Amino acid sequence: MNSSAQPSFLSRKKKLSASLRASILDGCFYTMMVGFGESFFGAYVVALKASHFVIGLVGSLPQAMGSLSQLLSIQIVRWFQSRKKMVTSLVLIQAFLYFPITAGMMLPPPYGMVLIVLSITLYFMLGMVVVPAWIDWMGFLVPSTLRGRYYGLRNSITGFFSLFSFLVAGFFLQMMDKSHLVWWGYGILFFLAFVSRIFSFYFLTRVEDVSVPIPIPLLSGTNVGSALKKLPQSPFYPFLMQSVLMNMAVYLSGPYFTPYMLEELHFSYWTFTYILAIPMLVKALAMPIWGKLCDLYGNRNVLAFSATFLGTLPILWTVSSSVSFLMFVQVLSGFLWAAYDLSSFNTLYDLTSEKSRMRLSIILNSINALAYLAGALLGDRILSLAQSLHLSFSPYYLVFLTSGFLRFVVAFLWIPKIPHVSGKHHIRFRTLLWMFSVLSVRGFSWNLLQTRKKTIKKPDAPHKK
């Protein structure tokens, strides 16, 4: 390497390191915004005595509209002529929506609820329309060989900030509720969420932009009918179906855990908070290990492992309402969702090319919008049916059981159809579980991971039954 190339290489490496650090700091403040604000949207509308229909709507409509808004992502990037400018501009606007969300509780109930629902919906639309651009932006920045470990580390660090802000918010809300100042509590928390997003915006501006062509319009040069006919033959299709149907099954029960805990089990804000905080902690601890396993054995293997057992989670909520038992369920939840979220995110990179990634991620998230809404509305119908039948058990149980059953069906039907990425080892479920357990006990040892790799057979070597 000549003398002029050496400084150039070092300068590029320094810029990349600075950008990756800034992205982690952006993620930390973003998750603090979620912990102080977004995580309590459900509890907020429950405190305002909203109906189950409105609670389900708040838990699904904003996410659905946010996903549909991603159909505009490429066009907005083209307006800004930069992925970075598009992302930073819209997240700044998103931050200021905490003010009308807060103002809604001061208006008469019908008008206040409309303002809150509309503001939360716009909040999610702005937050989610930037996701495809951010994924594409980071996809060009983060080397493919480091993705699993980098995102595992990033998610782990940001997870602790999410946990910290969520616990502080829950404890603070509990104290304000005891002092009969709960509305002041929500106002202060939402202001802290606003400030956190402002810091997130600042660190996003410190991430290096990428000098790559602006993506072509979503349907440019594409025959829609022909593209849809070809989609089922693509390797991306099984992943698309698994993701969409799994999200529908998850959102069937997702919006109803909050009213179940606050209204039926009568949990205090503090109990509600630490029950929901447990999976955040477990995810933060588990992410670095799952990141290494994704890099070593492939995202598809980790996705298959985690998706297969997601169905157990809502079913276990019907076994007991004991706080100690639900704490155990939440530990398992954090363990499985850490693996599923990380491997699902990275599988998108595995199954798409740089040219098609943003377009396919938009298609995936837009169809997911229908899944969110369909799942929540189906959950509301099941809940209404269960209440009309006057069952001897909680009507929420029927929602949780249905969600769990559908998750098993989705995993059984679609996970085997997702292709393996070449160059990765095949690994059995029990081996993956064994490795995670040993790595946890041994202090997340990478050396052990490398040693264990030598004992795994190649994909072409048949496993003994």
Q: What is the pLDDT of residues 238-263, one digit of tens each?
A: 999 999 999 999 989 988 898 899 88
DSSP letter, residue 352: S
- Is 462 part of any domain? no
- Is 319 part of any domain? yes
**Cα–Cα distance between 282 and 68 in angstroms, integer?**
31
Q: Are 241 and 292 in contact (CB under 8 A)?
A: no
Element (H, E) at 350: helix 323-350
Sign of the CA dihedral running 303, 305, 311, 312: negative
Structure tokens, 353:
């090319």
Q: Which residues contact 243 (CB under 8 A, 6 or more apart)?
A: 344, 364, 368
In our burial notation (b when 16+ CB lie closer than 10 A, e otherwise), range 189-225 reads: bbebbbebbebbbebbeebbbbeeeebeebeeeeeee
- Number of structural domains in the chain: 1
Q: How many CA atoms lie within 13 A of 352 on its CB side?
A: 25
The pLDDT value recorded for residue 252 is 92
- Give the range of the structural domain holding residue 295, as residue numbers without chain letter: 20-206+226-453
Q: What is the pLDDT of residues 164-214, one digit of tens each?
A: 998 899 899 989 988 888 899 999 999 999 999 999 999 999 998 887 777
Q: How many CB atoms lie within 10 A of CB 437?
A: 10
- Is 1 part of any domain? no
- Is 13 part of any domain? no
- Is 220 part of any domain? no
- Is 129 part of any domain? yes
Share of the chain above pLDDT 90, in %: 34
pLDDT at 223 over 80: no
Q: Which residue has the higher pLDDT, 274 or 454?
A: 274
- Is 460 part of any domain? no
**Cα–Cα distance between 154 and 161 in angstroms, integer?**
11
Q: What is the pLDDT of residues 97-108, one digit of tens each?
A: 999 999 999 988
- Please give the biggest Cα pair distance in the chain: 80
- Helices assigned H by DSSP within 205-235: 224-230
Q: Are 77 and 133 in contact (CB under 8 A)?
A: yes
The pLDDT value recorded for residue 228 is 60
Q: What is the pLDDT of residues 373-411, one digit of tens each?
A: 889 889 989 988 888 887 788 899 999 999 999 999 999
Kindly report the average pLDDT of the chain as a whole number.
Answer: 82
Q: What is the pLDDT of residues 411-463, one digit of tens each?
A: 999 988 888 775 555 556 566 555 555 544 444 344 434 444 444 343 343 33
Q: CATH number for the domain including 147?
A: 1.20.1250.20
Closest C-alpha among 167, 205, 172 to residue 187: 172
The pLDDT value recorded for residue 401 is 95
- Is 8 part of any domain? no
Q: What is the pLDDT of residues 285-311, one digit of tens each?
A: 888 888 888 877 778 888 988 998 999
The pLDDT value recorded for residue 457 is 41
